[in-house]
Amino acid sequence: MKSLALATVTALLLAPAAPTAVAQQKIEKRASSGISVSNRNGDVTVTWKGKVVFTGKAAGRVSAKSSNENGTEFAAAFDGDKVLWENVPGAGEKLKDK
């Protein structure tokens, strides 16, 4: 009986975990830039320096880009080539090809 219980516990511990909602969520964060995007089944959330700055739908690949040029921060979130959010006007266009 003891070995059966041990075998059952071992099998449960080694069994692959069932997929969860977290597995369906893709999160991309740009290191030290302060911008992050999450996409859960097409529902996008953009966070800038810890605050939610955009929520909405997306059709394509969601990404975030940022740069610091001479102390000026530029950040933008994209749905494919379309700018979803930018921290200053023109930041999306400036970062699009980087």
Q: Give me the phi and psi of 56, to 5 degrees please.
A: 170, -170
For residue 63, the model assigns a pLDDT of 95
Identify the H or E element spanning 68: strand 62-69
Residue 26 three-state SS:
strand
- Residue 2 placed within a domain: no
Mean pLDDT by 10 residues, the chain (98 residues): 44 44 44 82 95 95 94 95 96 91
Would 1 be classed as within a structural domain? no
Question: Could you list the residue range(s) of the whole structural domain that residue 55 is in?
Answer: 20-95
Per-residue confidence (pLDDT) for residue 32, from 0 to 100: 53
- Residue 85 domain-assigned? yes
**Residue 38 resides in a domain:** yes
Could you tell me if residue 27 is inside a domain?
Answer: yes
pLDDT at 98: 79
E strands present in 2-50: 26-29, 35-40, 43-48
Q: How far apart are CA 66 and CA 98, in angstroms?
A: 9
11 within domain boundaries: no
- Contact in structure between 35 and 45 (CB atoms under 8 Å): no
Where would I find the H helices in 16-83?
A: 21-24
Is the Cβ–Cβ distance between 65 and 98 less than 8 Å? yes
Q: Which two tokens stand for residue 54?
A: 């955009």
pTM for this predicted structure: 0.66
Residue 8 lies in a domain: no
Number of domains the chain contains: 1
